[in-house]
A and B are shown apart, each in its own frame.
Chain A
Amino acid sequence: MRSYFLLLFFIVFGSAMQAQETAMSTSEIASFKEKVVASAKNTQTIKSDFTQYKHLDFLADDVKTSGKMVFKAPNLVKWEYTNPYKYSVIFKEDQLLINDGGTKSKVDIGNSKLFKKLNQLIVNSVKGNMFSDADFTVSFFKSPKYNKAVFIPKDKKIAGYIASFELLFNKDDAQVYEVKMVEPSQDFTRIIFSNRVLNSTINDSAFSN
């Protein structure tokens, strides 16, 4: 009897969870976009912790890594893993500056269109402002907890790597708090931001390895 109730509970609760998320109306999309663009415009710097979960279907647990992210407008990003290993990447103009546990290297992305696109994606998804990107078909969803934008690449080459790209936004300040990248195989990477600090003073020297 008790397990019966439990089952009932899960059916009701489960369907309620699904019903939570609905597509936005045209006017909702317009006001949501406006809010995100305004918020991104006012964002000069971001400091945040993040936790990354790599989900592979055949694994018992997701692969968990974590670290810190620093952003400075217009396009400086330092992405630093601190646990369980040290690895950082600085996105600077047409270069990636990598420090892999003390081994430093540089990657020129100037002539790789795909890499440039992926790089741009990272910078724009940190800011949340990527709705004007002509390379994606975007759809919008809402729930009591979050607003969600789903990006599906139009370019076949990018679609070979990314089936979709999802950004979850806080309802109140229109900041991105979760990024999810789904692969064509349906395996995915989730990055969840926490302890976000906006518009603190960050020197350019923070973007060196």
Chain B
Amino acid sequence: MIRLLAISFFSIFIFSSCALKTTEGLRQVHFNEITVENPYFSNAKIDYVYKAKIEVYRKNFGGILIIKKIAADNHRIVFTTEFGSKLFDFQFEGDTFTKHFVVEDMDKKFIVNILKEDFKILVNESAKVLAVYESKNQRIYKTESGDRFNFYFLDETSEQLEKIVNTSKTKEKVTIDYNSADGKIADTISIKHNNIKLKIDLEKFKKQ
């Protein structure tokens, strides 16, 4: 009996470590939606300006993150120091990624790739829905992006986007938490990586 119990615990451990944590305890439901939308950087009239705090391997640094939709499916992302000097300047146009500028110390393939993947999730406005799940108060949309998946967590009643979890088939890679008063502009955004010690906190500039 004890052995059986041990085996079943062991198998639970094995199976649960293989299955994706994101959808654990959620029930899959039928759906009619074709796409799920991310409204937070979708208004071309707005200059999206955020104070950024970055913690990477216990080192802290800050700056200003500026995102602007310059045309349909076309975003410019600039990160500067508090003093205004540019650290990087990227552009996403459809699937084309352009590196306009990266400061020498940051211009490493490994770093640029992480930033590229993170910001791609951030500015992508619409994704095709593959599956839908439900929890007590959220509706979760599974979408595909390359060989990864993005799960969009929307509040069931307000339909506000609250979280995006980027995963491989078995593991959560990046979690993006949003806080928004009106559902149109994110007041705070927190990007957390699970496999590397990297956390980016963004706070919208207050109106002066």
Contact = CB atoms under 8 A, between A and B. Distances in A.
A84 B206 contact: yes
Interface in A165-188: 181, 183, 185, 187
B176 to A, nearest CB: 21
Interface of B: 45, 47, 49, 51, 53, 59-62, 64, 66, 68, 70, 76, 78, 80, 82-86, 89, 100-101, 103-104, 203, 205-206, 208
B140 to A, nearest CB: 33
- Most chain B CB neighbours (cut-off 10 Å) among A54, A103, A183, A189: A54
A56 B61 contact: no
A123 B49 CA distance: 28
B47 A59 contact: yes
Interface of A: 52, 54, 56, 58-61, 63-65, 79, 81, 83-85, 87, 89, 98, 100-101, 103, 105, 160-161, 181, 183, 185, 187, 189
B84 A105 contact: no
B73 to A, nearest CB: 15
B84 A64 contact: no
Nearest to B91: A58
Nearest to B59: A105
A119 to B, nearest CB: 11
B68 A103 contact: no
Given A101-B51, A160-B104, A189-B83, 15 more contacts: A56-B78, A58-B70, A59-B66, A59-B68, A60-B47, A63-B66, A63-B205, A79-B83, A84-B205, A87-B82, A103-B53, A181-B84, A181-B85, A183-B85, A185-B89
A183 B83 CA distance: 13
Nearest to A160: B104
A98 B61 CA distance: 9
A160 B85 CA distance: 11
Nearest to A122: B83
8 residue pairs, one from A and one from B, having the closest CB atoms: A189-B84, A54-B84, A100-B62, A84-B206, A85-B51, A84-B205, A59-B47, A105-B60
Contact of A54 (B70, B80, B89): B80
A101 B47 CA distance: 23
B90 to A, nearest CB: 12
Contacts of B51: 84-85, 87, 101
B173 to A, nearest CB: 25
Contact of A103 (B60, B101, B205): B60
B47 A61 contact: yes
